[in-house]
Structure 1
Amino acid sequence: MSPQPSTPDLPSWLTWWQRPFPDANTLLLHGRHPALIDTGFVGHANETAAWARAHAGNIDLVVNTHWHSDHVGGNALLQAQGAAIAAGSPEADAITRRDPGCCAAEYLDQPVAPYTVDVPLDDRQVLRLGDAHWEVVRTPGHTPGHLALWQPEERLLVVGDALSDYDVGWVNLALDGPDAAGTALASLKQLADLDPRLILPSHGPIPTDPAAAFAAALRRAQRLVDDPAGAVWYGARRIFAFALMIRDGIPADEVEPYLHARAWLTDAARLLDVAPEALAAELVTTMLRSGAIVLRDGRLHAAVDHTSVAREALRVPYPRAWPAAEPR
């Protein structure tokens, strides 16, 4: 539960917690208004809240870069302990409406405990987090409501899943339309133009060379624009690996039936013009061949480093069954 070794270039009022999957990295901003940026996966909500309390006491505000399960999983618990939740539009509005598609939780089969958004965020809005002012930068692409946070005095840039030291965020061409990859590329260019001193990503380490990280990310994002089929495959691999992580693997003889029942796989098959059953079989075969997943003791597991999740932690309702949100 300890943060990673401190980076010399980070200001003292900021604590960085690099976390393995299925959690996003968590950022704590100290001061009179303690704030967290992202709260990890629901299966580790108690760990997130305990870590925040140990380092800062009560948290005033949680800011979500976007609503995927690995970023909002501690929201409900922290909100019950008194924190307000801030998120960008249109995701904040959908959460308030209790849209069944919230967090893409049911679509991706990734559980999210019910929460409400107290502070909807607009592009270029200024927030006081800890004792510093941060600017909201709307960066759609990975999700429609994805946002970054910019601290101009220190030139710190929280980028969410827009990029990491080794990757860019996958895009959902089925849910968000064929222009989603182009939108993500435009958001990356907008962030690169800020010329940050430090990039704080949601996954992986802090890049040692921000300019090089952006150059690599822009090349990767351009490939997703140029190769829509490749973008669909990329998303399918990421979603399937996450499913294996949070379930401690899936029995090998149950994997393809599990995939056949998933809306995201049906959509991917449609975009690729193949049968869902054929895509499921090919997805398993190619990921086994590449080493992205492994067969161990009769179960398929994600090969990437990740922490285990208690099975009972997955038993939270889909958003269609969430209680109505209280008026803001």
Structure 2
Amino acid sequence: MSLRPPELPSWATWWQRPFPDANTLLLQGRQPALVDSGFVGHARETTEWARARAGRIALVVNTHWHSDHVGGNALLQAQGAAVAAGAPEAEAISRRDPGCCSAEYLDQPVAPYSVDVSLDDGQILRLGDTEWEVVRTPGHTPGHLALWQPEERLLVVGDALSDYDVGWVDLALDGPDAAATALASLQRMADLDPRVILPSHGPVPADTRAAFAAALRRGRRLVDDPDGAVWYGARRIFAFALMIRDGIPSEEVEPYLHARAWLTDAARLLRLTPEALAADLVKSMLSAGGIVLRDGRLRAAAGHTPVAAESLRVPYPRAWPASEPR
């Protein structure tokens, strides 16, 4: 007999979304809040969903700044919402660091937004009508955070883990200890012994302790096998690129990869040329079924929602307008 996922309280609405969007949590009450806002190509869908259920959104909290988590920020902010993010990322957004959101590095578009509330470890936030504690969980990104609601024992874990995965780590950008940092964050979250885990991708795990046990094993593998961690990240980034572009013509795939900073960094860590890594990446993912060749285009095999090409035409952070205090 299979376990059923634990129930959420009536004031929490969970939206499990396919790639390229992260799952979204709506916390209803006097100050309606949204945790993560999906991909920029579906920003209007996100805002309409939230407004239909809450009327307005007072605050958006980002678990971290990757494109699938912050894509609706700009539109929600234009409608009056404030945005909150972990301190390291909030500070970079405020000074308009060209590396914001890893958008240019990963070639993942993010519409310009600002951060109104910088969050530190242990800070208490009122979301909807309930209080949540900010838990710093660096690893997947340096500013990654979780949100803990102790009365209901709910834990929003972002990309730190899911029922089937753990978040990839960037050993090139964040250093060789990034995987160990992510593993320590997993252990910190497991020690909270939550009743419910709310991950950014996939379903709510039915067995929270089993989910953490599996995640800790996977996290340990990333620590013990740095080359494997680099390959893991490269496969995830490439699959996402194919998802948001409705695939890439087969003859353009390797030139596209050669031009990517993340691939150049991965090749250096793996002691390969970018050309060799690009060829190996395509060949291995085709062989494993992670990508498919259809109608002359390489496409991600995993289920995902189409993205309108025009929605990707937003500037890289280096061209964002200056952030204005609100």
Q: Residue 283 of structure 2: which of 264, 282, 285 is its match?
A: 285
The CA deviation at 1:89 is 1.4
| Amino acid aligned to 2:220 | Q
d(CA) in 2 for partners of 1:241, 1:55: 32
Partner of 1:130: 128
Partner of 1:100: 98
| Amino acid aligned to 2:227 | A
Partner of 1:215: 213
Pairing of 1:22-61 with structure 2 (within 5 A): 22-61=20-59
Partner of 1:165: 163
Partner of 2:177: 179
Pairing of 1:137-156 with structure 2 (within 5 A): 137-156=135-154
* Structure 2 stretches lacking a partner, 5+ long: none
The CA deviation at 1:7 is 6.1
d(CA) in 1 for partners of 2:75, 2:116: 15
Identity percentage of aligned residues: 83
Runs of 4+ in structure 1 over 4 Å off? none
- 1:36-91 Cα shifts (integer Å, max 9, x gaps): 00000000000000000001011000000000000000000000000000000100
* 1:262 lines up with 2:267 in the alignment: no
d(CA) in 2 for partners of 1:278, 1:8: 46
d(CA) in 2 for partners of 1:266, 1:42: 26
The CA deviation at 1:8 is 6.0
Partner of 1:82: 80
RMSD over aligned Cα atoms:
0.9
Contact 2:61 2:84 in 1 (8 A): yes
Pairing of 1:8-23 with structure 2 (within 5 A): 9-23=7-21
d(CA) in 1 for partners of 2:7, 2:77: 31
Kindly tell me the number of residue pairs found equivalent between the two proteins: 323
* 1:276 lines up with 2:267 in the alignment: no
| Amino acid aligned to 2:196 | L
* Structure 1 stretches lacking a partner, 5+ long: 1-5
Which secondary structure state, in structure 1, belongs to the residue aligned with residue 280 of structure 2? helix
- 1:282-321 Cα shifts (integer Å, max 9, x gaps): 0000000000000000000000000000000000000000
Which secondary structure state, in structure 2, belongs to the residue aligned with residue 66 of structure 1? coil
Partner of 1:69: 67
Q: Residue 111 of structure 1: which of 109, 112, 121 is its match?
A: 109
Contact 2:85 2:115 in 1 (8 A): yes
Pairing of 1:288-307 with structure 2 (within 5 A): 288-307=286-305
d(CA) in 2 for partners of 1:78, 1:70: 15
d(CA) in 1 for partners of 2:101, 2:36: 14
| Amino acid aligned to 1:238 | R
Pairing of 1:192-203 with structure 2 (within 5 A): 192-203=190-201
- 1:171-192 Cα shifts (integer Å, max 9, x gaps): 0000000000000000000000
| Amino acid aligned to 2:22 | A
d(CA) in 2 for partners of 1:149, 1:83: 19
d(CA) in 2 for partners of 1:261, 1:54: 42
Contact 2:124 2:132 in 1 (8 A): yes
d(CA) in 2 for partners of 1:298, 1:264: 25
d(CA) in 1 for partners of 2:87, 2:137: 11
- 1:82-132 Cα shifts (integer Å, max 9, x gaps): 000000010000000000000000000000000000000000000000000
Which secondary structure state, in structure 1, belongs to the residue aligned with residue 275 of structure 2? helix
Partner of 1:318: 316
- 1:128-163 Cα shifts (integer Å, max 9, x gaps): 000000000000000000000000000000000000
The CA deviation at 1:9 is 1.4
| Amino acid aligned to 2:168 | W
| Amino acid aligned to 1:169 | G
Contact 2:24 2:36 in 1 (8 A): yes
d(CA) in 1 for partners of 2:88, 2:274: 30
TM-score (norm 1): 0.98
The CA deviation at 1:327 is 2.7
